[in-house]
Structure 1
Amino acid sequence: MRCAKNLILMALVALTGVLPFASSSQAMSGQRRLKQSRSFSVLDVDHAWFLSPSDTSKFQLEIYYQIHQAGLKFEPDSGRFQAAYELKATVFDKKNKVVARKQIPKTLNVSAERHTRSRQDFRTSQLDFSLPPGRYWVEVILTDLNAGKEFTKSFEAHLKPLKHSRAALSGLEFVHAVQATRGEGSAFLKGGYDVVPSVVRTYGGSDSSSLLYYQEIYQGNPSVEQVLLETRLRHWTKGMVYRDTLYVHFDNPVKRQLRRISLEEFPAGSYQIEVYLR
């Protein structure tokens, strides 16, 4: 079997500092390295891709975003404080033509002024787009309606067609938390669970000693009974620090995996995760 490869960039925080991670994915056009120390950002964006659950000829491009309320302008409102913003995500094809767009207006209310300045308070959500294979450019714009300011993040998503004659990997979603789903209306629903993304790909420290990520493996050909999954972690200067292999047996065409890797023994620094399907 030919080797399917999935690499993606992520970040890890340790007790002694920040550990940025990288990973590779067939949906990503390259590797993005997170800085050792991050400046404050009002808007953070990440993404991953999976086969569309309703149409396997298309992909579901998931855009994860995090809005830090300390960067928004709050106005007094009946004893509380209110921010108003609009989030717009636009997908362009390789000819710079708009192929999809979603626009969401929101208000955010807090009870105390101190919450308007807290850098620990943020809102996380996601937008989903159903797209055919192709190379896309995605632009996400956050507009602070009270301040009249815009914050923009953009990225390229290369959705390569999958060959259904063999097994294949999805993209990787870096995960902050998992819980039993609250219902069909949840933005984070995956296989009966709410999978909340870690938008800034930051792990480690006293409250996050494990790397958690979600991926899907597609059987492709019904004659494929099992595949070998290999996972590696590489430190940007020390080389490979972790490796494991796992046989995955197919009992249905899509195998969902939520994987956890302990980070307690890793030093602070930048890392890359590599996933291979053999």
Structure 2
Amino acid sequence: MRITPVYRDLLLSLRAAELGSPLWPAFCHMAYLPHRAYFDGLVETYGPLITGQGGLPGLVTRLAPALSRALRPAPAYRMEERVRAILARIEPLLPGPLPRVYLATLFFAAPAATVAVEGRPAVALGLERFSPSPPPGPRYWYPPEGVEEMLPHEAAHVARMEALGLPPSPRYLSLLDMVMLEGTALHFTDLLLGRETLATFMSPERLAWHRAHDAEAIAAAAREFPAAGLAVFVRYFAADAPISGYWVGYSLCRRYLERHGAGAIREMLCLPSAEILRRLG
């Protein structure tokens, strides 16, 4: 198991800045250089969706105070221990080796994501989005135990990308591959946990709409299946996307498993997206 606690060095750099060290040099020396492959990979994977116009220096400068506050409780989450236990549980179910896991920051963009590190997919956890006592209301902060759902989901992404040679960034993925990545990951996690996890990505109102307009949603997305890139990713996977790519992938993969049985999940993780569609007729 390769588990890299990036957040510990990031916290040290933020504390050094609070004690008077210049922020960017402290971040570079204490966090960026020891974990350059991770930070470069994060920027390569999501580009301006993460950094905005100021690149990594502007992002760090802008978010340093909030990051410091949000990451301060992270050492108490026992996240390394949690991740080891989850990886041990999913190892027999995943095709291929276990993913690399970075306990890091995603600069508030998400609590978990798949990131290209040295050209290969890896799991990143944004520990700043975890909280020991998340407030009620729409999900933004997550309890530490939320990783039990997030890690299997992202691990399924990594397994599928590795098996099919898919690029580990939405910059280079077609919409069809995006929705199948999400659909297979959702069902893998559901089967592991014994419950539906789609509500993590969709509000109750949006879930209800998509359940009532399933055929319409799939038909709308299917017209753009060949399209690729970050603009397509945002259009279908933003929180307020009119047609949810999460739903489209979930619905298509549910049909596949209804036809071939829940035991087909391991095979489905390794099936090309077009082949899944072909088998659905």
TM-score, length basis structure 1: 0.25
Q: Which has the higher helix share?
A: 2
TM-score, length basis structure 2: 0.25
Q: Which has the higher strand share?
A: 1
